[in-house]
Structure 1
Amino acid sequence: MKSKVIKGISFLLALDLVFLLAFAKSYSTLTLFPPFFYAHDVMLLIMVLLCIPYFKFSPRIRSIELLFLMAIFYLIYSFFNPGIENVEIILRQFMIFGYGICLYVIMKSVFINKTIRKNFAQSVMYFGLACVTVQILYIPFVFLYEGKNPFFERWYFSPIIMMGIFILASYILLNVKDKLLKNILFASVFIVSFSTGHDSTYLSLSMIYIAYLFVVSSRNHRIILTMSLFIAIVLVFYFIPSFTDVNVKWRLLFWKDSLLRIANNYFIFGDGFGIPYGTEETIKNLNSLYPDVPKSPRIIGDEIYLTAPHNSFLSMAIHIGILSIVFLFYPIKEFFTNKSLRMDKEILFLTLSLFGMVVFCAFNVILELPHSSSIFWIVLFGLIFKLSEKIGIPSDE
């Protein structure tokens, strides 16, 4: 019975990812129970309820559990804060951690199954392949039926496709043996990424490739690679306008305000949930960067609570302090201290995939929203559990 339920939950999790890919925001923003129970959220809640009888804390991931306990404490605090009254806003902001809590319960429950554990990395790869395949099929549709140039504009079929691109690119680097074919396939994925219209997508792919070279190279080659990377960064900011345009200025202004806010809280504390993401002066300065025309990204009304600083990790720190970022990534420290783990293809594949997502999240609003945050948490927890498995911490059967 237990095995069947766990497999059923795994099927629902896979189905949820398929729906996020196939129906995109039509699925993640579909309200089933007003005012804020959306289809994706309800699916996660159903899986969590099914997991509860089979959930075991052992083996413990204490930093992750501490992170989520902090988030829940701040959530309770926000409900009793007299200056914060909008329950819907409080819950929407909390979901930057709420999605992670749901996926932690789900992943910890399904990973007790030996078959699921064994095939996890391969399943993640298939999802990445599905994302890239869908986008490849969508490109000619945009060109032929929309009559638009499908490249360098935001023509991604679903927001989760960018995450799939990072996954497949990482898999290609680690599992295609022929160097020429490896680079051709990686370049092909890179070209497909141009149809997403996100500079941060190209940046994330570039960082994945550089990180791969850094891991597999000798020490002398790493020094050369580091110097080349520094020169490349300077050239990118000098020759590519999109890395110095108004969007970059908008982010830098918002990030500066966020960092000052975090510093004013001594880095340790947060402001809780249901709060404006920027000060009144900063919002005014951000809006001044764009003309007052239809569809300009101006922050007005309730948008002050919904428009985050386009860096999911800064958003975390604003809500509950900088320790949230430390606790989030602490469990993967073994990858950096254990050479044998870095050379393990499965571990390195998941790490590179996660690295690409982290870079992308550092420039966009990702973990705050339901559209593509699930796959981030799935890969993160899968990597953590795999690291525990490789270093000899037993999993419950």
Structure 2
Amino acid sequence: MKLRIIIGISFLLALDLVFLIAFGKSYTTLTLFPPFFYAHDVMLLMMMLFCIPYFKFAQRIRSIELLFLIAVFYLIYSFFNRGIENVEIILRQFMIFGYGICLYVIMNSVFTNKTISKNFAQYVMYFGLACVTVQILYIPYIFLYVGKNPFFERWYFSPIIMMGIFILASYILINVKGKLLKNILFAVVFIVSLSTGHDSTYLSLAVIYIAYLFVMSSRNYRIIVSMSLLIGMVLVFYFIPSFTDVNVKWRLLFWKDSLLRIANNYFIFGDGFGIQYGTEETIKNLNSLYPDLPKSPRISGDEKYLTAPHNSFLSMAIHIGILSIVFLFYPIKAFFTYKSFRMDNEILFLSLSLVGMVVFSAFNVILELPHSSSIFWIVLFGLIFKLSEKIGIPSNE
């Protein structure tokens, strides 16, 4: 009975990812039960409820559980402090952790199946391959039937495609034999990424490649790689127009306000949920960067509560304090303490995939929204469970 349910949940999770690739926002914004029960959210909630009886306590991740416990505490506090009438805004902001809670329970349960655990990295690769394949097929459609240049504009088929690009690029670097073939295939994926129109996608791929060189290099060569990375970042941010345009100024202004807000809370505390992400003065300054046009991304009304600072980790810290980021990444410390993992292709592949997603999430609103956050949590928890499995100790740190 347990095996059938776990296999059924795994199938539903795979189906959910297929829907995210194929239908994107049409799927995540499909309301099943008004006002805010969306198809994707209901799917995750149902899977989590079915998985609870099969939760493996020996496979707990204590720092992650502490993170989610703090988030739930702030959620309850927010209901009392801001009133039940603001429940929709409060819950929408809470879902930056809510999606993680659902997928933590789901991943813990499905990883009890040895076949799934053994082949997890392969399944993740198939997801990345599916994303890149869909985008490759979409490029000629844009060119031939839409009549537009498919590159350097926002032509991604669905938001989760970018995450798949990072995954396949990481898999190529780690698993493809032969330097020439490896670099050719990575270049192909990079060219495909140009059709997403996201500068942070290109940056994430560059960081993945440099991280790969860093891990594979000798100690002396790592110094050269690090210096090259530093110089490269300075050149990119100074000479490439898209990294100095109004969008970057908007982000930097918002990030400055967010950091000051976190500092005013002594870094430890947060403001809870149901809050404005920016002060009125900051919102006024942000709006002044754009002309007052119908399609201008100016912030007003409910957007004050829904427009996050385009850095998912800053959003986390605003809500529940800076320790949330520490608790989030603490379980992967084993990668740095056990040198053998740097030669383990499975661990390296998942780690590089996570690096790309982290960089991308640090420049965009990713974990706050359902469109692509699921795969971040899936890869993170899968990596943690794999690390624990390979060193032969429970993951409950």
Displacement of 1:301 in angstroms is 0.5
AA paired with 2:193?
Answer: S
Displacement of 1:57 in angstroms is 2.3
The 1:291–1:228 alpha-carbon spacing in structure 2 relative to 1, beyond 3 Å, is: same
Work out the CA distance in 2 between the residues paired with 1:322 and 1:126.
34
After superposition, residues 76-225 of structure 1 pair within 5 angstroms as 76-82=76-82, 85-225=85-225
Is structure 2 residue 296 aligned with structure 1 residue 307? no
Work out the CA distance in 2 between the residues paired with 1:274 and 1:124.
34
Secondary structure at the counterpart of residue 32 of structure 1? strand
Work out the CA distance in 2 between the residues paired with 1:40 and 1:110.
19
Displacement of 1:46 in angstroms is 1.1
Judge conservation of contact 1:59–1:393 (CA < 8 Å) in 2: no
Displacement of 1:232 in angstroms is 1.2
Work out the CA distance in 2 between the residues paired with 1:53 and 1:226.
47
Work out the CA distance in 2 between the residues paired with 1:75 and 1:83.
11
CA-to-aligned-CA distance 1:44-74 (integer Å, 9 cap, x gap): 0110111111113223311000000000000
Judge conservation of contact 1:84–1:274 (CA < 8 Å) in 2: no
Displacement of 1:245 in angstroms is 0.6
- Cα RMSD of the aligned pairs, angstroms, is 1.2
Question: What stretches of structure 1 of length at least 5 have no aligned partner?
Answer: none
Work out the CA distance in 1 between the residues paired with 2:230 and 2:95.
36
2:264 — aligned with what? 264
CA-to-aligned-CA distance 1:300-347 (integer Å, 9 cap, x gap): 110000000000000000000000000000000010111101211000
Secondary structure at the counterpart of residue 386 of structure 2? helix
1:355 — aligned with what? 355
CA-to-aligned-CA distance 1:165-213 (integer Å, 9 cap, x gap): 0000000000011100000000000000000000000000000000000
Displacement of 1:235 in angstroms is 1.6
Secondary structure at the counterpart of residue 125 of structure 2? helix
2:229 — aligned with what? 229
Work out the CA distance in 1 between the residues paired with 2:392 and 2:221.
32
Work out the CA distance in 1 between the residues paired with 2:49 and 2:84.
29
Question: What stretches of structure 2 of length at least 5 have no aligned partner?
Answer: none
CA-to-aligned-CA distance 1:266-303 (integer Å, 9 cap, x gap): 00000000000000000000000000012111001100
Judge conservation of contact 2:237–2:243 (CA < 8 Å) in 1: yes
Judge conservation of contact 1:332–1:384 (CA < 8 Å) in 2: yes
TM-score normalised per structure 2: 0.98
AA paired with 1:147?
Answer: G
Work out the CA distance in 2 between the residues paired with 1:64 and 1:394.
14
Work out the CA distance in 1 between the residues paired with 2:82 and 2:53.
37
Work out the CA distance in 1 between the residues paired with 2:292 and 2:302.
17
2:75 — aligned with what? 75
Work out the CA distance in 2 between the residues paired with 1:23 and 1:14.
14
1:42 — aligned with what? 42
Work out the CA distance in 1 between the residues paired with 2:84 and 2:368.
19
After superposition, residues 358-373 of structure 1 pair within 5 angstroms as 358-373=358-373
Work out the CA distance in 2 between the residues paired with 1:352 and 1:359.
11
